[in-house]
Structure 1
Amino acid sequence: MLVDPLAALIEGPSRAALRLALAVPLSGPLGMTGPAALACAMLAAEEANESGGLRGRALELVTVDAGRAPDEVAADMRGLLAAGAVDAVCGFHTSDVHRALKAVTANRTPYVFTPPHEGGRPGQGVVLLGESPREQLAPVTAQLSARRALRRWALVGNDYIWPWAVHAAAVPMLRASGAEVVLDRLVPFGGVDAERLVSEVRRSGTQVVLLSLVGRDLATFNRAFARAGLTDRILRVSGALEENGLLEAGGDDSGELYAVMPWFASEADVDGFAQRYADRWGPTAPALGAYAHGCYQGVRHIAALAAADALNVRSLGTTAPGPTGRRNRAKLARADGLTLTVVH
């Protein structure tokens, strides 16, 4: 079911299979989420194939490491498309990679982008399953600003497109709720000086830190934050924290670390997904999280379009529901040990 990209290039177009380029981070700051993403995508493909396939074709996944530099990922995807080796693109990755892939796939092949995104127009043939910064933050900023008079906020993120959009959306929303931004910092990927950042946060007198750091950088910051003894004094909210990131950070028992994502493994398993995942991969499976679950939804969405003979760039909407028929919506969850529990 998993096809090496070099093999796909050599073989070219396939009549027997619909080949989906699965662009997920297998390296880089988000690389720790890759194993669960592969497991979820494979589960989605297996379910599609077991249900009879896609109009006589099997669904296969061509893996593309989207954890590299945007131009490298785009070059690989351009080669696959030029060779007719893939029929669609799906996955999650940072928004700079997303922009590069959008330019390559525009008006050419369907592209389903599954995680929270930076907002703006998605482009022809691009489907967004996640939320924009405003959609993520709207249910949260007013609630937390009103709680215990939490009025002083710090914004800390990586220096690329998605955190820029998060900060741009957060500032007016916080001001409208009566809060102020006392610190605004963006740091390079992989170059986060966590001790220095934590020191700046402490000196700023902030009450809440809105984190748009991702992957390993987010975990590094949270570990330094705990070492500094600030977990009971300053509340943290992240738009990119899910179970893998919490495990990487060593867990959190303070009750003052929150995540804003659309899905958590600790939720009631309404559609049975977590149980199907556990049944398929067993007790040693990679930890489930929102990124991986979004990847599952993306593959299922591609499969549904193909089964309906609607997998073409002109027929795609810019947003889409998941397999349950509902669009992803952000939820607020609190870290408790090594789980994230929905609080509203």
Structure 2
Amino acid sequence: MFALFGQGTGAGWLFDADFDDLVRGAVVRFAIPWPAWLGGEGRLEATGRIISVSPGRRIVMAHETPWRGRVVCTLTPDGGGTRVRVVAEIDDSGLAWLLTRYGLEPPDQAAESGTHRIGLLVSLSGSASVFAAASENLARMAVEEANAEGGVRGSPLRLLVADDATSARAGAVQMRRLVRAGCRAVFTNVTSATFDAIEPVARKSGVLLIHTPVNEGGRGGHGLLRLGERPAAQLSLAVPYLMRDSGGRRWYLTGNDYVWPRASNRQARRIIAAAGGTVAGERYAAIGTRRFDRLLEGIERSGADLVVSTFVGADEAVFERAFHAAGLRSRVRTLSLALDEATREHIGDAAATGLYSAFGYYQQLPTPGNRAFLARYRRHYGRLAPPVSSISESVYEAVHLYVAAARRTRDGEPAMIGKELPGTSLEVPRGRIRVARPDLLEQHMHLVRAVPGGFAREASTESPCSLA
């Protein structure tokens, strides 16, 4: 029975657990039985991490998304068979998540007097959930640090977390819940599809909306800020380098079918043409796609030397594992614009090695500030906490940018804070950043290559990037 763990034997054996290596710290993917009327076609995708293994006897796992907790599986001989005992624990935030998913209000919604409420809308479930656990950790850590320094004009920050389930419709519902709960600002680490759905809610309510991860840019204003890397900045650094280094000229563009991948690939066409390359093909797949056979056949038939991937989260992990299994990695280089540390971890060392990405931050960034930041993160959440990436670290720095601007206002109202944010400069783990405009964050950009255990830097911009 122990040897069957994680061998694809179905949901009857510990939630169809899937992992690369049964070792301490390895990521585990679950498929939990789930009411079909709540979405997910009778199963809920979840992630965890192996905490300890006693071969043949016991496995302990931390449950990371969509809720926090612990799963302990104990195996004992029982006559001619094996007795399996599974204990699954869930914390208070997990109970709140379950209540919300059932359409009920969590018990912590009553606003306390004297607190400054902010919200975090993140993908704790669905395809984009792979970087959610670290994003929530870093939001909470930033709030603790800000409160240790007096909060906002003497009022402690209070963080409320909501899950968009990688769904634009669910995101709009959860955005309204955060507004009703009294949040003055909401930080979003979600897809652009969800962002488009929640932006009208923020404008109508007057709540400040700060979108932190890589995105295509667009609308911005005092009540709406879009930080994070832009496709033009990522591609302008990566495309010429990869063409020179590989000698390839033919590109294939692919990704999820929503606004950010399509906008990114419009920029890719322009930058590839300027570098002397050509686009051999372009194809998209819906969020949640798990079979890429026809896409991989199309890439091979196109004769492409290089690929731009704009798949996100679990979709990117499944695509790159299939790409590697098809034998394409050895002859086709891939630039993935959303390949962060958490996604690389889910792809696995073997399938991810040789992938490229371009971000303003990566966990191995060799600076004293980053080393000190990571040490604080590990002290808070343990050495086996989910890895930090640009996508998750962006939430941490956005909270600190917001607090710095809020402290310069007289009443801490969202409209005034929104006006103060442009021009704000801060030293954060990725270095010196500046909110140049409501829709643009100036930062250095780094081209990195996936290696076992993380990333290695290939090239960097000489000055903070201002390409929108």
1:91: how far off?
A: 2.5
Distance 1:203 1:191, change over 3 A: same
2:184 matched residue in structure 1: 87
**Structure 2 residue 231 is the aligned partner of structure 1 residue 116:** no
**Structure 2 residue 173 is the aligned partner of structure 1 residue 58:** no
Distance 1:8 1:105, change over 3 A: farther
8 Å CA contact 1:129–1:320 kept in 2: the answer is no
1:305: how far off?
A: 2.2
Give 1 or 2: higher helix fraction: 1
8 Å CA contact 1:127–1:319 kept in 2: the answer is no
Distance 1:188 1:175, change over 3 A: same
Q: Which of 286, 298, 302 is 2:398 aligned to?
A: 298
**Structure 2 residue 328 is the aligned partner of structure 1 residue 226:** no
**Structure 2 residue 372 is the aligned partner of structure 1 residue 275:** no
1:343: how far off?
A: 1.4
State the Cα deviation string for residues 128-175 of structure 1 (Å, max 9, x = none).
221221122111212222334220000010000100101111101111
Q: Which of 198, 203, 216 is 1:101 aligned to?
A: 198
2:381, 2:223 → 1: CA distance?
33
Question: Which moved further from structure 2: 325-334 or 181-190?
Answer: 325-334
Q: Which of 101, 110, 114 is 1:11 aligned to?
A: 110
1:343 matched residue in structure 2: 458
1:194 matched residue in structure 2: 292
Letter in 2 for 1:102: E
State the Cα deviation string for residues 83-108 of structure 1 (Å, max 9, x = none).
35211111210001111222111261
**Structure 2 residue 121 is the aligned partner of structure 1 residue 23:** yes
**Structure 2 residue 137 is the aligned partner of structure 1 residue 39:** yes
SS of the aligned residue for 2:127 comes to coil
2:260, 2:424 → 1: CA distance?
20
Tell me, which stretches of 5 or more residues in structure 2 are unaligned? 1-91, 434-441, 460-468
1:240, 1:282 → 2: CA distance?
25
8 Å CA contact 1:244–1:288 kept in 2: the answer is yes
8 Å CA contact 1:135–1:330 kept in 2: the answer is yes
1:211, 1:181 → 2: CA distance?
13
Equivalent residues, number: 342
TM-score, normalization by structure 1: 0.92
Distance 1:329 1:101, change over 3 A: farther
2:72 matched residue in structure 1: none
8 Å CA contact 2:119–2:186 kept in 1: the answer is yes
Distance 1:311 1:274, change over 3 A: farther
1:63: how far off?
A: 0.6
Q: Which of 225, 243, 246 is 2:341 aligned to?
A: 243
Letter in 2 for 1:58: P
1:302: how far off?
A: 2.0
1:213 matched residue in structure 2: 311
Letter in 1 for 2:408: A
Question: Which moved further from structure 2: 211-220 or 274-283?
Answer: 274-283
1:313: how far off?
A: 2.7
1:75: how far off?
A: 2.2
1:332 matched residue in structure 2: 447
1:150, 1:96 → 2: CA distance?
33
SS of the aligned residue for 1:116 comes to coil
Q: Which of 356, 381, 387 is 1:287 aligned to?
A: 387
**Structure 2 residue 172 is the aligned partner of structure 1 residue 74:** yes
2:192, 2:308 → 1: CA distance?
18
1:195: how far off?
A: 2.7
SS of the aligned residue for 2:284 comes to strand
SS of the aligned residue for 2:368 comes to coil
1:165 matched residue in structure 2: 263
**Structure 2 residue 360 is the aligned partner of structure 1 residue 262:** yes
- Structure with the greater alpha carbon radius of gyration: 2
1:144 matched residue in structure 2: 242
State the Cα deviation string for residues 316-340 of structure 1 (Å, max 9, x = none).
5568655434133432100111211
8 Å CA contact 1:118–1:132 kept in 2: the answer is yes
1:318, 1:186 → 2: CA distance?
35
1:196: how far off?
A: 2.5
1:257: how far off?
A: 1.0
TM-score, normalization by structure 2: 0.69
Letter in 2 for 1:205: G
8 Å CA contact 2:128–2:314 kept in 1: the answer is yes
Letter in 2 for 1:99: D
RMSD, matched Cα: 2.3
8 Å CA contact 1:17–1:59 kept in 2: the answer is yes
1:32, 1:63 → 2: CA distance?
16
1:79: how far off?
A: 3.8
8 Å CA contact 1:89–1:111 kept in 2: the answer is yes
1:177 matched residue in structure 2: 275
2:149, 2:221 → 1: CA distance?
31
